[in-house]
Amino acid sequence: MKGLLFILSLGLSAQAGAFTIHVGPQREYKTITAAITAANAGDTVLVDAGHYAEKKIVINKAIFLKGINYPVIDGEKKYEILYVKADGVIIEGFSVVHSGVSSIDDISGIKVEDSKNVIIRNNILQDNFFGIMIQNGLNCLVENNQISATSNLEQESGNGIHCWKGDSMRIIGNKITGHRDGIYFEFVKHSIIWRNTSEKNIRYGLHFMFSNDDTYVSNIFTNNGSGVSVMFSQRIKMFSNYFEENWGDASHGILLKEISDGYMQGNYFVKNTSGIYMEGANRICMSYNSFINNGWALKIQASCMDVALDHNNFTGNTFDVGTNGSLVQNTFNNNYWDKYEGYDLNKDKIGDIPYRPVSMYSMIVEKYPPAMILFRSFMTSLLDKTEKILPSLTPENLKDDSPLMKPAF
């Protein structure tokens, strides 16, 4: 008991020793930098509303930096704005604007380096090269920030939220627009991306590289240059995300390249050139996803193996499935295809004949794109129906032996 009381007394004395330092035109400290210099670990630096043009504010101690009514910290298009190099820092309630631009130094609105347990929440970041960058971070939280940029060229814009070499990161409830990539992960593991909206970014709404054991849930990726890209990663879980309106010659809802042991459930792919483009993907389980009004719902290249699709809905797509080879080592089972014209004599809600989702015309278009001009012509319809009866060009074993007669959900 005495030991417990001693520990409690230490905690109370530490809390009692924490101070609040005020910054503002009418305060003792006129600049944020001066207040941070005067603060001790555990203190709160409270910044009044106003405009603060300071060169690279360095936070090197565990403080709570809090803004009142979104004070503006302006990099004047010259400087990095906030630079964190301490554990346990909290940054909340600021408008961080106009950082400098440099592809060599990766200048950011807020940069965190070699730190853990950092929280960045409820901030507005506008017109910065990189919005929020975390390098070698552990257990950091980026939550409810609004991050935007206006550049039209990739080389003139960094990423909205950029994480490199991290562990246990939490990216939650942010809104990102106008950057090169909305969210970028490289060498980041055991992390979650949840409830973010990433739209109208120049390249990808989300970009994964060499990042394992991560999960992303209930995000919206819409109208980005090339949708989402997950590359060279393992054990990625994707639940209840929306991939919408990603159009262009090489655009897709999501690109899965050289990934393995992934799981996709409850996602929506709506109005994309390709809902999913898969290359070198292995052991991916896909169930209860919806593919609606895409050009190609799914492009699965011959380099993919042990991909299993069950209980997915395919409705209103120009082409259901496209591929570039005849050898297929993937399984389709119990999916709903709105183009299925089979029958169900025993009334078990499963079609009595297999459905072949790869049409001959889709394979012709894959090799000769100008052939798309004949889409919906009588000749192409006749060729497709003949091919379904006597397959010759389409993969013989790419079929759903048990297609559902009604949507899976």
Whether 276 has a pLDDT exceeding 60, the answer reads: yes
> Which residue range forms the structural domain that includes residue 219?
16-225
**Residue 166 domain flag:** yes
**Residue 326 domain flag:** no
- Residue 373 backbone dihedrals phi, psi, to 5 degrees: -65, -20
- Taking only the tens place, the pLDDT of each residue in 361-400 is 666 566 656 666 656 565 556 665 555 555 555 667 789 9
Q: Mean pLDDT lowest for which of 112-121, 214-223, 282-291, 358-367?
A: 358-367
Chain-centroid distance, C-alpha 52: 32
From the list 283, 284, 305, 309, the residue with the least C-alpha distance to 297 is: 309
Assign residue 194 the CATH number of its domain: 2.160.20.10
Q: Mean pLDDT lowest for which of 29-38, 250-259, 358-367?
A: 358-367
Q: With contact defined as beta carbons under 8 Å apart, do 193 and 177 qualify?
A: no
Number of separate domains in the chain: 1
From the list 180, 150, 177, the residue with the least C-alpha distance to 162 is: 180
Q: How confident is the model at residue 62, as a pLDDT?
A: 98
Confidence tier at 10 by pLDDT (50, 70, 90): very low
Count of residues in the chain: 409
- Taking only the tens place, the pLDDT of each residue in 193-244 is 999 999 999 999 999 999 999 999 999 999 999 899 999 999 999 999 999 9
- Taking only the tens place, the pLDDT of each residue in 147-203 is 999 987 887 899 999 999 999 999 999 999 999 999 999 999 999 999 999 999 999
**Residue 335 domain flag:** no
- Taking only the tens place, the pLDDT of each residue in 67-86 is 999 999 999 999 999 999 99
**Residue 336 domain flag:** no
From the list 93, 57, 61, the residue with the least C-alpha distance to 76 is: 57
Q: How confident is the model at residue 160, as a pLDDT?
A: 98
Of the CA atoms within 13 Å of residue 288, those in its CB half-sphere come to 8
Neighbours of 283 (CB within 10 A): 16
Q: What secondary structure letter does DSSP report for 172?
A: E
Q: Which residues contact 409 (CB under 8 A, 6 or more apart)?
A: 288, 311, 313
**Residue 5 domain flag:** no
**Residue 112 domain flag:** yes
Rounded distance between C-alpha atoms, residue 389 and residue 272, angstroms: 30
Q: Which residues contact 223 (CB under 8 A, 6 or more apart)?
A: 199, 200, 244, 245, 246
Handedness of CA 129, 130, 132, 135 (dihedral sign): negative
Helix (H) or strand (E) holding 306: strand 305-310
Taking phi first (over 0 means left), then psi (-120 to 50 degrees means alpha), and beta for anything else, what does residue 263 get?
beta
From the list 84, 131, 87, the residue with the least C-alpha distance to 109 is: 131
**Residue 172 domain flag:** yes
Rounded distance between C-alpha atoms, residue 274 and residue 294, angstroms: 6
**Residue 93 domain flag:** yes
